[in-house]
Chains A and B, each alone.
Chain A
Amino acid sequence: MTTLDVAFAAVGAIAAGSGLLAVTTRHVVHAALWLVVCLGAVAGCYLVLGAEFVALVQLLVYVGAIVVLVLFALMLTRAPIGPNRELSTGRIHRLLAAVLGAAVAALLAATLLPLADGVVRRHEIPNASLAQDIFGIWVWPFELLSLLLLVSLVGALAVSRLVGGAPGREGRR
């Protein structure tokens, strides 16, 4: 066992544990905070495997922007301190969710485990080659994704401006 194995196992365990806590806690804000730990640990996985830039972007985008947005939305609506009984789900839902989660895990394990040979390898990926891959080979999916985001942005604007009355500055008041 090398240091790399230990480091990878540690961040992996943190990611799995905090992910589990994020979906099982009854405190809605705690769930968001456990998500921070989970995403940070996934960034740690990338870092251990040598994808430094991907790890940093993961932190910058997911922890710095997405989770802040989630917390902001929670505070704007309702985020009581203490456990929230309304968040509880029925037995059937829980069972279904557990089965679905197990099925996805089994599928991933069945596909990925034959490929793995038990050795953690570190590939140092230069930032330049990453950029060449994204804007060379994968440029069309990348642009399509940007277009999708733009469309959803315009859609959100339309929904917030046009619902209930004439469009314009004071449309909703």
Chain B
Amino acid sequence: MNEVVITQPLEVVLRAVGVLAAFLVLPLLVGQTEHKVMAHMQGRLGPMYAGGFHGWAQLVADGVKFVQKEDITPAAADRSVFRFAPAVALVPYLVALAVIPLSPSVVAAPTNASAVFVLAATAVGILGTLMAGWASANKYSLLGAMRSAAQLLAYELPLVLAVASVCLAAGTLSLRVIALDWQPWWLLWQLPGAIVFLVAAVAELQRPPFDMPVADSEIVFGPYTEYTGLRFAFFLLSEYAGIVVMSLLFAVLYLGGWQGPWGEQVGWIWTLLKGFAVAVLIIWLRVAWPRLREDQLQRLAWLVLVPMALAQLAVTAVGVVMFE
């Protein structure tokens, strides 16, 4: 089943602008939600003043503040790599967002193997953290970069295996067709894979409880220690863009994307709502669990997640052979 090919230059530009707009708005929305949800879970109010109504403009104000700050490159740093790293961390998520379908027709760049595409793009983004950690010429940064390399190597495998299981179930690598084929009973059939995917995605994003690489209280934000101003903001933005990409991917792979009441007409709203619910879950994980230690991280990945993902793959294969 081949996707349509876009050839009109104007259409290409319009689609690119659309993705860029979503890329700039959705992470801010998730960030603001994190401020407020986390605050209320901890018995606080969170930002209340910026913008008037419940501090809705807090992140806009933060952005303005970051722009005004001085952009410092440490004297001992490797200048070119140091300055280029934030772009390497940020752009892949923008590219990944372009191929995630919100409904069968609402997708910026239709591709055949979009599930693999998203995984490949996010795998490239990881390099930004490593480049930042090495080029900073700071021992905390280097420690953080080493921790993130170890963590990302360990969690990449279960993530890919979990996605492979859904692809096997639907018999395609296209996210659009996966969500079209999705049935409600897949919720149970693919449940172990979904859990593996969620845990591995949170670890891949280096979000608490898997934030050992950036542990602010021991290695002072790890790879990002030396960054200031806009470049630091880009790293933060890439974290929240990563949450958006992983949440939408989870919604499309495991929750049926646009399927729901009136899915024919307002399917994209369903995808966004499901993705938003997953994002809130990821925020909740941060509040609920303390940080895992390095050896616990590796143990969880290799002794729990990888076997679980392999078992899920076997269960899926048996299901596919039996029911088709």
Contact = CB atoms under 8 A, between A and B. Distances in A.
Interface stretch (B131-139, B241-249, B250-258): B131-139
A81 B135 contact: yes
Given A57-B116, A60-B116, A68-B153, A81 B123 contact: no
Interface string A58-91: 0110011101110110111001011000000000
Contact of A68 (B113, B126, B133, B134): B126
Interface string B263-305: 0000000000000000000000000000000000000000000
B77 A81 contact: yes
B81 A53 contact: no
A29 to B, nearest CB: 6
B113 A75 contact: no
A75 B136 CA distance: 13
B111 interface: yes
Given A59-B123, A60-B120, A64-B120, A75 B146 contact: yes
Nearest to B173: A127
A78 to B, nearest CB: 11
A57 B139 CA distance: 34
B146 A64 contact: no
Interface in B86-142: 111-113, 116-117, 119-121, 123-124, 126-127, 130-131, 133-135, 137, 142
Interface residues of B, number: 33
A60 B149 CA distance: 15
Contacts of A68: 126-127, 130, 149, 152-153
B156 interface: yes
B76 interface: yes
Contact of B146 (A52, A56, A76): A76
B160 interface: yes
A33 interface: yes
A159 B141 CA distance: 31
A127 B113 contact: yes
B145 interface: yes
Contacts of B145: 75
B112 A52 contact: yes
Contacts of A33: 81, 127, 131
Contact of B153 (A29, A63, A72): A72
B81 A64 contact: no
Contacts of A27: 78
B14 interface: no
Contacts of A63: 120, 123-124, 127
Contacts of B119: 56, 60, 64
A60 B76 contact: no
B156 A29 contact: no
A161 interface: no
A65 B124 CA distance: 9
B120 A59 contact: yes
Interface string A91-130: 0000000000000000000000000000000001001000
Given A72-B146, A75-B149, A81-B77, A64 B134 contact: no
A64 B122 CA distance: 8
Residue of A29, A40, A124 ringed by the most chain B CB atoms within 10 A: A29
B134 A65 contact: no
B150 A71 contact: no
A26 interface: no
A81 B78 contact: yes
Nearest to A30: B81
A36 interface: yes
Nearest to B123: A64
Contacts of A57: 116, 120
Interface of B: 2, 76-78, 81, 111-113, 116-117, 119-121, 123-124, 126-127, 130-131, 133-135, 137, 142, 145-146, 149-150, 152-153, 156, 160, 173
22 contacts: A30-B81, A33-B127, A40-B124, A52-B112, A52-B113, A57-B116, A60-B160, A64-B120, A64-B123, A64-B124, A64-B156, A65-B123, A68-B126, A68-B127, A72-B146, A74-B134, A75-B130, A75-B145, A75-B146, A75-B149, A76-B146, A81-B77
Top 9 A-B residue pairs of the complex, sorted by shortest distance between their CB atoms: A64-B123, A72-B149, A59-B120, A60-B120, A56-B116, A56-B120, A81-B78, A71-B130, A75-B146
